[in-house]
Structure 1
Amino acid sequence: MNSLIKSVFIIALPAFALIAMLDSLWYLYTAGISLQHVAHLLTAGCIVFFFLQIFIKPTPRTDAILKTHTFIIFLGCILGLLVGSLQEDDTFRGICTIFNILLTVGWIMYLVWYSYFEKRNAANNDILKVGETLPLLTFENSKKEAITTERFAGTPSIFIFYRGNWCPFCMAQIKEMVDKYEELTERNINTIFVSSQPHGFSKKLTKKYPLDFQFLVDVDGNVAKQLDIFSKNGLPFGFQIFGFKSHTVLPTVIITDSNEKITYTNQTDNYRVRPEPKTLLKIIDQNV
């Protein structure tokens, strides 16, 4: 139930912020400049800008608390609360204060609740422990042909489990790994991207990046369940209309040596915090 609430929340927050932003712009246009509506716009606009930004110019990672955005949002909320005493001549709109408070609370929930994967603890995942052998895994390629991890035996591999083409952080992560193609090739590394999304979306990535990379499908999330990285209702509510499935995978990176021994894993508990390619290359050089 909690994961379903999260999938609705991540759609509701930016939608509510957009309504609040349009409300503030309308009143600034019709009633003139007022500190209250500027504060209102500051809070709502910053949230809208953040979500637009990550889709327009995807970034593979952020800091955990989004310092700049959080500062602006709190500033807008505080100004909104103080406006009655700071600018007494203005007509005070209680709805602005309510919107600002709700948006600020929503932003805090996004940072400390939505962004984190509850109950995910890498130390408790006995399957993905460094030194252990990666179990036999079965995927499908974009042609729905079965591919097992036996195919990659004898050569070091990086397995990157991503949530899907709908996730801007995942797409940015894939892009920066593509940018390291030559360095990965020089090290003779298999690079495998895995998601549980329908085959057509993975096929699009195969066409977009016609390199010696594998874009594989974890059918019905069976591998994710096997590795304990399954994410129930991980898809934002409503994205099903684009053809995506409701259940996804938790972002995970696994590096194995030529004997399929796990040399490194990254099981992030925050979907916006992910390892950089230079970190992965360093791990490879040290352990593979």
Structure 2
Amino acid sequence: MIKGLISRLKRWYAIPYLLLCIGVSIQSIAYLLGDAAFSYSWLGALVAVGPLVLFMSVVYALPYTRIVRFIAFPVVSALLGAVLAVIEMRPLPTFYTLFFGLGGVLVYVFWYTYLDRSDNILLHKGAKLPDFTLTSLAGEPVVSSSFIGKKVLWIFFRGNWCPMCQAQLDSLAKEFDTFKAYGVEMVLISPQSRVKSIKQKSRMPAPMQFFEDQDNQAAQRLGIVHRYGVPLGIRGYGHDTTLPTVIMTDELGCIIYVDLTDNFRIRPKPEALLEVLSHG
């Protein structure tokens, strides 16, 4: 119950918070340009909030994955803004700086990006991958056991609305031929509709296999459903999604690698996956 409440709070956080920060940035610029007297407090509000807006905008416009848990630029800017704001302590801009700037960025880094995963007893190295059923882009059911006899890289991603997922798939596509040389089938799975996956597949530079996980049935089977994981304001994807998960299985369907990230900004690099194959 508590975890469900936390998930709902996170669902309501991202886009409303970003819109509020945009509003604060615009108001800060207006005061800095319109006031006859220079204000350290309004400058502090802009310095604290503006870089976070820029960061989140860049993430969605130019998606990328990060291998570090913490993002220095918005944090340092928020701290600097707080110092500037308290020089004058004007109530409104100081509130903006400490609440939306410093408070907001700390909430984003230390709370929002974490996935609150439960321990997963099904997915661990050496275990047999449980059977589940997917739907091909042609609308046909495909059972996971049909891949027995091949090495398979199973990528469960949230959807094409997620910039980190998009970047993850782009990085894998660049190494598609290398994985193919190792005899690895790359299987990309999300709960988004087949129509959306068809559009996403058309943009990929490699012939990667996309499958739909209808109603998160496979994710439920594997214990990787992310309740209320789709941010408020993202339309056409429902409210539940899958926890980003990477699994590699051998020809017998046994797990030889698994990544259950607890932070949606952090995904395994292709180099780490290829290293597993090179030592296999």
Q: TM-score, normalised by structure 1?
A: 0.91
Whichever residue aligns with residue 14 of structure 1, its letter is L
Corresponding residue for residue 266 of structure 2 = 273
Q: Which residue of 2 aligns with 1:116?
A: 114
Residue number in structure 1 paired with 2:13 = 9
Deviation at 1:232? 0.7
Q: Deviations over 1:211-265 (max 9, x none)?
A: 442111111001111111000110000212xx11210000000000111110010
C-alpha displacement at 1:191, in angstroms?
0.3
CA distance in 2, matches of 1:135, 1:18: 45
Q: Deviations over 1:45-97 (max 9, x none)?
A: 0110111010111102252121222111111112211x22xxxxxxx631100
1:88 alignment partner in structure 2: none
Residue of 196, 208, 211 corresponding to 1:216:
211
- Say which SS state the counterpart of residue 70 (structure 2) adopts: coil
Structure 1 residue corresponding to 2:31, chosen from 9, 27, 39: 27
Which residue in the other structure is 2:174 paired with? Answer: 179
Q: Deviations over 1:257-280 (max 9, x none)?
A: 111110010000011111111001
Give yes or no for the alignment of 1:137 onto 2:135: no
Partner of 1:87: none
Match of 1:239, SS state, is coil
Alignment check: 8 A CA contact 1:198 1:245 kept: no
**Which residue is equivalent to 1:256?**
249
Which is further off, 59-68 or 188-197? 59-68
Q: CA deviation at 1:131?
A: 0.5
* Alpha-carbon distance change, 210 to 98 in structure 1, aligned in 2, over 3 angstroms: closer
Match of 1:157 in 2: 152
- In the TM superposition, residue 127 of structure 1 has moved relative to its aligned partner by 0.8
* Partner Cα distance (2:56, 2:197) in 1: 24
Q: CA deviation at 1:28?
A: 1.3
For structure 2, the 5+ residue unaligned runs are none
Partner of residue 170 from structure 1, selected from 165, 169, 176? 165
CA distance in structure 1 between the partners assigned to 2:30 and 2:237 by the alignment: 36
Question: 42, 47, 67: which one pairs with 2:47?
Answer: 42
One-letter identity of the residue aligned with 1:274: R
Deviation at 1:22, TM superposition (A): 0.4
Q: Distance in 1 between matches of 2:129 and 2:146?
A: 13
Is residue 59–residue 168 contact of structure 1 (8 Å, CA) maintained in 2? yes
Runs of 4+ deviating beyond 3 Å = none
| CA deviations over 1:130-187 (Å, ceiling 9, x no partner) | 1111111210012211111123211111001101000000000000100111111111
Aligned-residue identity in percent? 29
Alignment RMSD (CA, Å) = 1.4
**Separation of aligned partners in 2, 1:209 and 1:47:** 29
In 2, Cα distance between equivalents of 1:167 and 1:63:
18
| Preserved CA contact (<8 Å) 2:173 2:205 | no
